[in-house]
Structure formats: C-alpha cells, structure tokens
Amino acid sequence: MESGSSSKDGLIAKLIEWSINNKILVIIFTAALIAGGIWAVVNTKVDALPDLSDVQVIIITEYPGQDQELLKTR
C-alpha cells in the first residue's frame, strides 16, 4: 500500500512532465489567466470607498452656568 505523500509526488511529477512536454499550452493558459486578471481589474466597479476617519459626534447642550454668548455663537 502506498503512502499519501508518494502518490502526491507522483501527481506533481506527472504535472511537471506534462508542462515540460506542452510548453505552448502552458504559455497559452498563463496568457489567458493574465488577460482575465487584467480584464477583471479594469471592469470591476468600486461603488463605495471605505471611510477610514475617526467617528466623531458633536453634541450641543445647555448646562447650568454656561455663558450665554457661547450659545449664540453656535
């Protein structure tokens, strides 16, 4: 009975051998993947950019002893 690693090594060896014997197909597949990636980057629409600023909340309220001039300026 073969161990799992030896069957994987055989698969990888077969893939490498196939790639060496079919250089043109490997180049065509690689070019197709690159072209598809470029097409995807160009045609993917970004509908929103994340807001990375800090969240801020401004609260205006009255409290006893506050100067009335501060209320008028806001």
pLDDT tens-place string over residues 23-62: 999 999 999 999 999 999 999 987 777 777 888 888 777 7
Q: What pTM does this model have? A: 0.49
pLDDT at 16 over 90: yes
For residue 9, the model assigns a pLDDT of: 75
**pLDDT band (50, 70, 90) for residue 4:** low
Dihedrals phi, psi of 36, to nearest 5 degrees: -65, -40
